[in-house]
């Protein structure tokens, strides 16, 4: 009888978590394309209306495509909920935040971002965030989410672009049960520590999933645990054998200085990316991992590591010398706590783990 109860609970538990969220929580600021009195038509205006203090604030967004670029930088915590019939399923998302910008017309990568977070304690639920400039191979850098905050989380969200989709640049972050799509260096950043679990990571063209740009031997890393790496539904034909889990992000300015001084002084070769228990069906290059470029590999001090990678995408893999296959004891050292802090349970929504 006890065993039966355990089995029933195991079956029913996910369903219990998969609830709808179709009305604003009490006290929430409301965003609605058909705004009535006391509501806002844009997320930008709703964020601007929040008090500039340390109070926790909630925003609820009704279905629609909101074409705007949004910056969140107030000091207090912000939670944004998107209308959904299933909080655990990103395919049920009905709220889209879309913008069109690239580095060709912007001052920096960050400035291209559709949603830019420059504060701590921001939580996103059931939002689709797109940069519509980054939908073709030749378009260049175009960020969907630019993340500079600590203790920030994205839950059952979707992020779309082509190059530089997710800029996990600073702070501690988690991305859980979400969808992240791109082709070139589409999860990247310098100083951020980010934990990814239960996500679908979809590559749609030749390039690298990650581009870690750590410049010093600090503790920051990207840890991917129990994700699926797939080919996007509309992936281009050049994806086969031209996709990698990651490369160390270089940086043209520092590279030019190195050439001038004829010495690698600036040390942009501390990339640190770990994949654990990953199912990979995207048709990766047999090397799995890539150097920055042949004339400037940037692989001296990096950690590109895997444990228990399975699936057709890693069949027949022949990893380079700078890649590491972890033992089970080595892999156990990389956890959500070692990635985003021992206090992670105080700010991460554990429902999504």
Find all residues with CB under 8 Å of 137, minimum gap 6, and list them: 162, 183, 205, 206, 236
Of 185, 258, 269, 285, catalytic = 185
CA-closest candidate to residue 233, choices 203, 209, 208? 203
Q: How many residues does the chain have?
A: 353
Q: Do residues 264 and 295 make contact, with C-beta atoms less than 8 angstroms apart? A: no
Residues 6+ apart with CB under 8 A from 237: none
User: Does 185 qualify as catalytic in the annotation?
Assistant: yes
Separation of alpha carbons 64 and 42, rounded Å: 10
Measured at the CA of 39, the angle between CA 34 and CA 41, to 5 degrees, comes to 50
Cα–Cα distance between 244 and 282 in angstroms, integer?
A: 9
> Encoding tokens for residue 169?
């640049």
Residues with a catalytic annotation lie at 185
């Amino acid at each position: 009888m006890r065993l039966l109860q355990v089995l029933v609970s195991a079956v029913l538990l996910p369903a219990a978590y998969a609830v709808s969220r179709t009305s604003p929580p009490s006290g929430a600021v409301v965003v609605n394309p058909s705004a009535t009195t006391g509501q806002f038509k844009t997320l930008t205006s709703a964020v601007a209306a929040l008090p500039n203090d340390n109070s926790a604030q909630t925003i609820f967004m009704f279905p629609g495509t909101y074409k705007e670029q949004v910056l969140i930088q107030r000091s207090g915590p912000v939670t944004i909920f998107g209308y959904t019939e299933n909080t655990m399923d990103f395919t049920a998302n009905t709220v889209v935040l879309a913008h069109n910008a690239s580095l060709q017309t912007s001052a920096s990568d960050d400035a291209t971002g559709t949603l830019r977070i420059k504060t701590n304690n921001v939580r996103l639920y059931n939002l689709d965030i797109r940069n519509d400039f980054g939908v073709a191979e030749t378009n260049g850098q175009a960020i969907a989410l630019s993340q500079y905050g600590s203790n920030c989380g994205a839950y059952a969200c979707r992020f779309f672009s082509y190059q530089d989709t997710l800029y996990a640049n600073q702070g501690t972050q988690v991305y859980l049960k979400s969808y992240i799509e791109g082709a070139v260096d589409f999860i990247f950043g310098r100083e951020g520590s980010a934990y990814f679990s239960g996500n679908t990571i979809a590559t749609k063209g030749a390039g690298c999933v990650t581009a870690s740009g750590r410049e010093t031997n600090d503790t920051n890393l990207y840890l991917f645990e129990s994700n699926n790496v797939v080919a996007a539904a509309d992936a281009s034909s050049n994806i086969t054998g031209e996709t990698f889990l990651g490369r160390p992000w270089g940086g043209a300015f520092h590279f030019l200085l190195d050439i001038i001084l004829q010495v690698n002084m600036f040390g942009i070769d501390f990339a640190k990316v770990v994949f654990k228990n990953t199912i990979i069906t995207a048709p990766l290059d047999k090397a799995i991992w890539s150097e920055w470029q042949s004339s400037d590999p940037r692989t001296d001090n990096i950690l590109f590591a895997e444990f228990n990678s399975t699936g057709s995408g890693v069949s027949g893999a022949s990893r380079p010398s700078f890649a590491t296959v972890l033992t089970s004891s080595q892999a156990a050292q990389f956890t959500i706590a070692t990635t985003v802090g021992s206090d992670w349970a105080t700010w991460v929504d554990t429902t999504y783990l």
